[in-house]
Structure 1
């Protein structure tokens, strides 16, 4: 088990003790395969986004070698066009679609890894993979600034974008720009694309598919950093009662009576990022009923039936919780990645409503 001394900063009263955090980190490490990949659970499938989320949690806990192995798995399995497939089982693709937010998220993990380790050699090693992934993603940017959510196996793509995915991509592009800036390798095309994407998220909701019954579409523009300040406060208050179930957590999708640990932890991160730490802690405390005896977390709970569902404990749920606790605890790398204040913003567009 991970030494409790490496998780002292992951202590949050009512949520995690150092020993509990160490147990959770050990649970993620137990899921990680020898090749570095981190599936949802042992024997389950892997998607690149959740794989990175779990790797970031390992870095937050000081498990840098295991986190680096996770990123090298992505490097070793990257497609020639810079993408990754949407799902893998035992290293073999099971969904050959390529989702843009999955591919972009490498940038968030890589920047977080660098900030936790200061390892510039690793950054140089992974840069070609990061560059290729960003180029793949930006090739699917639509005229309005939003980014199509997927390229299909035959090379075609829907001219449709998802607000949650694009909000995550916005954070990823800013992290990619931070890497480029550190390497003194400016990417003006990325800066323009990032600004166009921010403009779409902030001012043009009609450019995205209507998924407002999902809680992620509610808080992700804040979590990804595109919406902050009074606009974030207004957004959270407008739908708080729709999605937050007091004492249980956050609904995944309306009207289902189902709260999920991942969405709850992510909302806590978003609340922290907008300066509402007290409410963030309240949300994290409310999902302690999802913690299992082995230190991992059940994916969700159907409160109408008083039943855990699905009966799986996912590495990314544990990872999201650890990252939220790390941010609340002031872990510098995690705060830098999620508060957004120290990330390049790209070139911003005027909000005049004309475009």
Structure 2
């Protein structure tokens, strides 16, 4: 992908004409020699946000850099299939826990890159990494379908579940199943686990936030079940409409939490994709267009803005924010063959389903 492939009309209405190139260059400028992508220069990298930034590189056609990012994860994967919460300068930066949704997210990145490149060898190469990551995550699933959010430094489960984290895992399992299907490695237990997780998210709210204060004040708890396909159609639209005024500040973006005057760019991008998934394209375009005011001269995007104080905060331009901007652009104008990954459930059928369809 390069900016010249985007029509001037689309570029002018949704993003600056140099947007893809400069955003990718910003991420590339932060990527370390080992392939890791920290939040910013001198910062740490975590497995989830690292993948978010790597997907941005795939969108821009920076395939070698994106593959270097996935190689870094594969090289440091622990024996049980997991990763620590954060790394910095080649060392573990946070060894207190390993988070299930962080671990699962590599499946989304690998599938996204494959849809863009069609590189079968790449998919085969990272199959063992994805398989081990999913095994770690599903070992934390309870009989009720929810998935514990983390394990501690000793490997003991931290027994509670997060709506946002489990929603992210729901999408990760969709992508992992598609990877398995494409490689001819049917994983019916993954499908059953995904179905149980979806039921928990839709029907068992009591399984979430059992041991801490509710996370419902966070916008991601509101829109992530739509973004990841837990809810679709009319149910998705109703969910978004119900709390729209709590989280969306007209002309600025989406709040991170409903009780603070702080909009965040990445959450606004993800809400853009959730709106597209729910069939609310006009709202999605309107929300996304306003986000480019937060772009700096180097192509990076500021993480957030406190509108009460008219102040950028924190004074950080995170790589995953640039990645989220690219992902939303892809979803809006189909820059790549992977553009629909967050706007529709695209679960490939079991091989037996193909056989039955031929009868």
Say whether the 8 Å CA contact 2:99–2:149 is kept in structure 1.
yes
CA contact (8 A) 1:259 1:301 kept: yes
For the aligned residue pairs, the C-alpha RMSD in angstroms reads 1.8
Deviation at 1:203, TM superposition (A): 1.4
The yes-or-no answer on 1:240 pairing with 2:244 is yes
TM-score of the superposition, structure 2-length normalised?
0.92
Q: How many positions carry a matched residue from both structures?
A: 345
Distance 2:52 2:10 in 1: 19
Deviation at 1:124, TM superposition (A): 0.9
Cα shift readout 1:63-122 (whole Å, capped 9, x = no counterpart):
111111110110001011100010111121111210000000000000011111111111
Please give the residue correspondences for 1:307-318 in structure 2 after superposition, counting only pairs within 5 Å: 307-318=311-322
CA–CA distance in 2 between the matches of 1:179 and 1:339?
A: 18
Residue number in structure 2 paired with 1:352:
none
CA distance in 1, matches of 2:86, 2:337: 28
State the distance in 1 between where 2:126 and 2:8 align: 28
Deviation at 1:275, TM superposition (A): 1.4
Cα distance in 2 between the residues matched to 1:300 and 1:269: 18
Further displaced range: 289-298 or 317-326: 289-298
Which residue in 1 is equivalent to 2:199? 199
What is aligned with 1:157? 157
Q: d(CA) in 2 for partners of 1:8 and 1:55?
A: 25
Aligned ranges for residues 1-355 of structure 1 at < 5 Å? 4-5=3-4, 11-96=10-95, 97-209=97-209, 210-344=214-348
Q: Cα deviations across residues 313-334 of structure 1 (Å, max 9, x unaligned)?
A: 0010011011101111023533
Local SS of the residue matching 1:151: strand
Give, in whole Å, the separation in 1 of the partners of 2:4 and 2:139: 45
Distance change in 2, residues 1:90/1:192 (3 Å) = same
- Secondary structure of residue in 2 paired with 1:88: strand
Structure 1 gap segments, 5+ residues each: 347-355
Partners of 1:269 and 1:327 within 8 A in 2: yes
TM-score where L is the length of structure 1? 0.93
The residue matched to 1:338 in structure 2 has which SS? Answer: coil
Q: Distance in 2 between the 1:98 and 1:192 partners?
A: 24
* Deviation for aligned residue 1:13: 3.1
Tell me how far apart the structure 1 counterparts of residues 301 and 191 of structure 2 sit (CA, whole Å).
38
Shift of 1:3: 5.5
1:125-165 deviations in whole A, cap 9, x for unaligned? 11111000000000000121010000110111122000000
Q: Secondary structure at the match of 2:243?
A: helix
**Contact 2:15–2:289 (CA<8 Å) still a contact in 1?**
no
User: Are 1:54 and 1:320, in contact at CA under 8 Å, matched by a contact in 2?
Assistant: yes
Which residue is 2:356 aligned to? none
* More divergent stretch after superposition (279-288 vs 316-325): 279-288
Moved more, 57-66 or 235-244: 57-66
Runs of 4+ in 1 over 6 A off after TM superposition: 6-10
Moved more, 108-117 or 5-14: 5-14
2: distance between equivalents of 1:221 and 1:84?
A: 24
Q: 2:144, 2:196 within 8 Å by CA — same for their partners in 1?
A: yes
What is the rounded CA distance, in whole Å, between the counterparts of 1:206 and 1:73 in structure 2?
A: 38
- Counterparts of 2:45 and 2:216 in 1: how far apart (Å)? 26
Question: Within 2, Cα distance between the matches of 1:322 and 1:10?
Answer: 18
1:125 partner SS: helix
SS of the counterpart of 1:337? coil
Gaps of 5+ in 2: 351-359
Q: How has the CA–CA distance of structure 1 residues 116 and 8 changed in structure 2, closer, same or farther, with 3 Å as cutoff?
A: farther
2-structure distance, mates of 1:200, 1:50: 25
Q: Secondary structure at the match of 1:343?
A: coil
